[in-house]
Amino acid sequence: MCGIVGAVAQRNVVPILLEGLRRLEYRGYDSAGLVVVHEGGLERVRSVGRVQGLAEAAAGHGVHGHTGIAHTRWATHGAPTEANAHPHISGELAVVHNGIIENHEALRHRLMDLGYRFTSETDTEVIAHLIHFHLRSEADLLRATQKAVAELAGAYAIGVALASAPNRLVCARQGSPLLVGLGIEENFIASDVSALLPVTQRVIYLEEGDVAELGLLAVRVYDREGRPAAREVHLSELSAEMAELGAYRHFMQKEIHEQPRAVADTLAGVLGAQSIAPEVFGFEAAEVFARTEQVLLLACGTSYHAACTAAHWLEAHAGLPARAEVASEYRYRASVPRPDTLVVTISQSGETADTLAALKQAQALGLADTLGICNVAESALIRASRLRFLTRAGPEIGVASTKAFTTQLAALFVLTLALAKARGRLNPEEEARHIQALRALPQQIADALKLEPAIAAWAERFADKHHALFLGRGVHYPIALEGALKLKEISYIHAEAYPAGELKHGPLALVDKDMPVVAIAPNDALLEKLKSNLEEVRARGGELYVFMDHEAHIAEQDNLHMMRVTPHAGVLSPVVHVVPLQILAYHAALVRGTDVDKPRNLAKSVTVE
Ligand code: G6P
C-alpha cells in the first residue's frame, strides 16, 4: 500500500526519492508523485501508473532539490488520478500520507468554511490544509504539524516539506508505519527500511503518536505529548542486494526458490539444540504455555491460511482447542474471551491494519497472552505482542506471499511442539522424530522445486481457463485454499478451494471439461476418501491435476494427471505440498502475461482497513 520516502541532503535528492519509490513498488500502488524544495518554492511532479513514468516526468521537467518527499499511492479516497496523487500542496507546504483519516469529512467542511479550496478527493489534502491553517498561528512547521495531527482520527504516516524551510522535513505516525533513516549529514524517512538501503542501514522506528523533525545534522523525535523522546537507533540486518532480483525473472520466482534457505534460517535458532525450548518464543513463554488451554489464531490473506493449518496441528498434536479467524472479522465481532487463551497473530509484514486491530481487540478483551509470528523484527505486531517469533524469510517483495507462508508454517509447527511438550503430550522419542522431520524439510522443499518444468507444462493448460477448483482434505484443505488464492491473485483465473467432501454439496454443479480441478492427495488417512471425490469429478468430465506423495496410489485414468511431489512428509506434508501450487500459479500467470509481482488492485502491505 502507499509508500513514503523523504530526504534532506546536501545533494540532489530526486534520485534517492525515485530509487526509494522503486524499492517500495512491491507494496502495491497505482500512482506516484514527488515534491522538492527548490529556490524557495515547491516543484511537484505526479503521474498515474508506474514509478518509471514519474522518473521520466521528473527528468523531463529537470526537477532538482536538496529536500523532498515522495509517494506511491494505492487509491482509497478518490480514483487513481494525477489530481489525487500525492504530494498534496497547501500554500507553500506539501504532504505525503499513508493511512486513512476517519474524520476527514468534518475537517474538510471546517477548512472549506475557512476558505480553503480542495483540488482532490483525497483525505490527505485535509492534512495539508490543516497544517497550513495551524502554521498561520504557530509559524513553526513542527508545532503546526503537532497541532494538526492532534486533530486527526484514524491512521496516518505523513511527511511534510515547507518551501521556506530548505533542509528540513517533519514527519509523524499513528497506526501506519514510518521510520527515520540516519545518514552522514543527510537524513531520510520511509515506510520501510528497504526503501533506504542504498543510502543507510541505520534507522529509528517511530512509535505510535511520534512526531519527528529532520535536519541535515540532527533528528529530533517528540512523543504524542510533545516531549522530546529518545528512540533507539537500529542497524538493519537487510542489505540492498537482498531485495534485488538477481538471475530470476520475477521476485515471486526468486522467493519460491529461496524457500529451502528461508525455512532453514527460520529453524536455525530452534533446532540447534536436541529439544524444543519454549524460550524461542520469548522469555515468558514457558509460563504462558503452562497456562494455555486454547489457542486463537488471527491473520489475513496467506497468513490466515497458515493459521488454519496450525489450528489442525494444535488440535491433533497438542490436544488444544484451536481456532483460526480472519482478523477483519474478529476485530468487529462480539466474541467470548476465555482468559486461558493464547492469541497468536501471524503476519509477514507485521503492519497489516486488520491484524493489528484484531490484536488490540483481543488485548482490550483482557487476553494478555499474545504471540506475534512475523517476518519483520521491528514491526508494530512484534512490538505489541508479549511473545514473539521471527520468521527469517528475508524481504518478500512479490505481492503474492510464498516464502513467508512456508516459514510461518515452520514456526507454527515448532509452536505446536512447544505447546504439546508443555502439556506432557510429547515424549522424547516423538520430539526427536519431529526435530528430524523439521531438519529434513528444507531438502524436501528443494526436491519439490525440481518439478518446476513439469508444473510449467501443466500451467499451459490452465492459461485459457476462466475457473479452477482446488480440493484438499483435513490439514491439506488450507493448502488448497492457498493454492486457489495464489492462482487468482496473480493469474486472475477465478479459483475456489473446497474441502473435497463438500464437493457434492454444490461445486460439483460447476464441473465440466473447462473447469480444471487441482487436488492435493498425500498418502494420509484421508486418501481413500479423496479418491472417491476425484471419481465424482471424473464422472462429470472434469480434468484432474493431482499432486501426491510417492506412497500415494491412484490408478492411471483418462483426464487424470498425476505428479509425485515428495516422499511422504508426514505431519509436515502441507509445507511441501504448497510449493507446487505456488509454481503452478506463477507459471499460469506467466503464460497469461500478467504483472506477476504487482498484480492489479492488490497491495503487499495492507496498512489500511
Ligand atoms: C496482502 C498481501 C498478502 C498477504 C496479506 C496479509 O493481502 O497481498 O500476500 O498474505 O496481505 O499480509 P501480512 O503481512 O499480514 O502477512
* Ligand 1, atom nearest to 355 Cα: 15
Atom of ligand 1 at shortest range from CA of 349? 14
**CB burial of residue 53 (10 Å; 0-12, 13-18, 19+):** middle
Report whether pLDDT(608) > 80: no
Q: Are residues 190 and 311 in the same domain?
A: no
Cβ atoms within 10 A of the Cβ of 269, count?
A: 14
Atom 1, ligand 1: residue with shortest CA distance: 604
Is 601 domain-assigned? no
pLDDT at 310: 98
Pocket test for ligand 1, best of 349, 373, 376, 391 (most atoms within 8 A of CB): 349
Residue nearest atom 5 of ligand 1, based on CA coordinates? 301
Is residue 226 located within the same domain as residue 130? Answer: yes
Answer whether residue 407 is part of any domain.
Answer: yes
> Using 50, 70 and 90 to split pLDDT, how confident is the model at 127?
very high
Q: Is position 320 within any domain?
A: yes
CATH number of the domain encompassing residue 496: 3.40.50.10490
CATH code, 162: 3.60.20.10
Q: How far is the CA of 249 from the centre of ligand 1 (A)?
A: 22
> Is pLDDT at 609 greater than 90 in this prediction?
no
Residue 226 has a pLDDT of 95
Q: What is the CB < 6 Å shell around ligand 1? A: 300-303, 347-349, 352, 355, 399-401, 602, 604-606
- Tell me what pLDDT residue 376 has: 87
Q: Is the pLDDT assigned to residue 525 strictly greater than 90?
A: no
Q: Do 209 and 184 share a structural domain? A: yes
Position 283, amino acid: F
Exactly one of 147, 531, 598, 604 is catalytic; name it.
Answer: 604
Structure confidence at residue 272 (pLDDT): 75
**599 is a domain residue:** no
260 or 235: which leads in pLDDT? 260
pLDDT number for residue 253: 96
Q: Which residue out of 2, 300, 308, 374 is catalytically annotated?
A: 2
With pLDDT > 90 as the criterion, what percentage of the chain qualifies? 78
Report, as an integer, the average pLDDT of 477-490: 97
Atom of ligand 1 lying closest to residue 602 CA: 8
pLDDT given at position 273:
74
Q: Are residues 257 and 234 in the same domain?
A: no
Instruction: Give the distance (Å) from ligand 1 centre to CA of residue 347.
Output: 7
At residue 2, the pLDDT reads 87
Sign of CA dihedral 318, 321, 327, 331: negative
User: Given 411, 440, 469, which residue is the final one in a domain?
Assistant: 440
User: Domain for residue 212, yes or no?
Assistant: yes
Cell 514527519 -> residue: 171
Distance CA 98, CA 605 (A): 11
> Which among 305, 361, 369 has a CA at the least distance from the CA of 329?
361
Same domain? For 387 and 490 the reply is no
The answer as to whether 184 is a domain residue is yes
Q: How close is the Cα of 405 to the center of ligand 1, in Å?
A: 10
pLDDT of residue 177: 86
More confident site: 400 or 100? 400
Average pLDDT over residues 265-292: 91
Shortest-distance Cα residue to atom 15 of ligand 1: 347
260 confidence band (pLDDT: 50, 70, 90): very high
Residue 607 within any structural domain of the chain:
no
Q: Closest ligand 1 atom, CA of 399?
A: 8
- Supply the pLDDT for residue 258: 96
Q: Which of 210, 243, 276 is the last residue of a domain?
A: 243
Domain final residue, candidates 420, 440, 460: 440
Q: What is the DSSP string of 483-500?
A: HHHHHHHHH--EEEEEEG
CA nearest neighbour of 376 among 392, 360, 353:
392
2 is catalytic: yes
What's the confidence (pLDDT) of residue 216? Answer: 97
Mean pLDDT of 114-124: 95
Mean of all residue pLDDT scores within the chain: 93
What's residue 233's pLDDT? 92
Specify whether 189 is located in the same domain as 302.
Answer: no
Instruction: Determine the pLDDT at residue 501.
Output: 86
Radius of gyration, alpha carbons of the chain: 25
556 or 44, higher pLDDT: 44
**Ligand 1 centre from 607 Cα, in Å?**
10
pLDDT of residue 246: 84
The pLDDT value recorded for residue 265 is: 93
Distance 426 CA to ligand 1 centre (A): 33
Domain span including residue 581: 452-592
pLDDT score at 509: 87
